[in-house]
Copies of this chain bind each other. A is one copy, B any other.
Amino acid sequence: MTSAEEIWSLLREQVSPRGTETIGLSAACGRTLREAACTAEDMPPFDRSAVDGLVVAAAEGSEIFTVVGEIRAGQANLPVLAKGNAYRIGTGAPVPHGGEVIMLEDAKADGDRVSFLRRGANHIRRRGEDARAGEMVVPAGVVLGDGQIALLASVGWVRPLVTRRIAAQHIATGNEIVDPAEIPGPGQIRDANSALVLAWAQQHGIACAQARLGEDAEALRDRLSPDADLLLISGGASVGRHDYTEAVLREAGFEIPVTKVNARPGKPLIIGRRGEQWVFGLPGNPLSHFVCLHVFVDAAVSAMNGAAPSPVLLSSHVTDPIPGNPRVTWWPAKAESKGLRPLRWASSGDLTALASADALVRVPVSGLAEGARAEFIRTR
């Protein structure tokens, strides 16, 4: 049995980043940046007023100033600040050389005459105070969200180089599964894993083709598309008589470094590779499936995207005790203001906890006491 840590190391070391493409910012959300973005100019590019206020010469100690004009945001030509003169200035407007900005709240106006209650606070965002020309602002490997995209826009990095979309092929196997829209007959159950994998792929921006097979080695072999970056086989990892998945994969040229993981739920996990292509044979039980996707397949996807190593183990407190088990358990939980609330699950086939789970708590063999600090993985 392989430990979770060994699997993460394996994936980090062996899964290679996929190719790249250049795209527009409006299509970049969720994609992984592959080339560090730098600013060509100082940020901000000029001294800017941080407030709505008045600007005078900083060296000028007069009691009373005359408001002689206005400097607006976007204005190109700036006045020279002469003795006794003040200008209204808007937030974001350029500050003339040697200027001091006084906020409106500190000014007392009487017609065009103005005096100040307070000087010296100088509300200016200085040229280059955020970043200097040439400095990196977003490193390679970052998954682009709204904040990163705003930052790229602010430095004119409008055609970022990102990882191309990852292609996955998902194959749900099993004689007992039927389409969720059907009413299952005796001994049958609805295929929840295909819906799970599709939504998971959508959340990751992965293009995912899907097929539902019975237990048919030949049909499975035919679906092992050499074009997919990632192959996911649901229900193909049990240890009994019908587990032909491993044999089919070996025949198809896959090396199989992992056949069992020391984790619960989800023990019978197959991980294989064929060149750059990776396959995961996932347990058929939907909760095991969910755990394996988030704990292990996510790590492979991060590596394919050239992103920071995944999973990121965060830490928080559990609000209730969680029993231990000879195997490390990934326990469904919900992050709440008081900490991580463990959710009830009856078995590895019990999906009901997933109505509210947004985290998987790593439960050590000894269990966790109420209020104990625990590591967890976010699942959404």
A68 touches B (CB below 8 Å): no
A147 touches B (CB below 8 Å): yes
How many copies of this chain does the complex contain? Answer: 2
Assembly CA distance A156 to B139 (angstroms): 44
* Given A241-B52, A349-B50: A286 in contact with B195 (beta carbons within 8 A): no
A244 touches B (CB below 8 Å): no
Assembly CA distance A43 to B302 (angstroms): 34
A335 touches B (CB below 8 Å): yes
Chain A contact-residue range equals 35 or more
Assembly CA distance A147 to B154 (angstroms): 36
Identify the closest chain B residue to A210 (Cβ).
B26
A5 touches B (CB below 8 Å): no
Complex partner residue of A194 from B29, B77, B153, B356, CB under 8 angstroms: B153
**Interface-facing stretch out of A58-66, A181-189, A252-260, A274-282:** A181-189
Q: Which of A115-167 contact B (CB under 8 A)?
A: 125, 129-131, 137-139, 142, 144-156, 158
CB of A91, distance to nearest CB on chain B (Å): 5
Interface of chain A, helix or strand or loop or mixed? Answer: loop
* Given A131-B352, A337-B315: A152 in contact with B195 (beta carbons within 8 A): yes
A92 touches B (CB below 8 Å): yes
A187 touching B76 by the CB < 8 A rule? yes
Binding site for B on A (CB under 8 A): 25-26, 28-30, 41, 43-46, 48, 50, 52-53, 70, 72-78, 88, 90-94, 104, 125, 129-131, 137-139, 142, 144-156, 158, 174-177, 180-200, 202-203, 214, 235, 238-243, 283-286, 289-290, 293, 312-316, 335-339, 346-352, 354-358, 375, 379-380
- A-B residue pairs, 7 tightest by C-beta: A52-B240, A147-B354, A74-B176, A74-B175, A150-B196, A153-B195, A154-B192
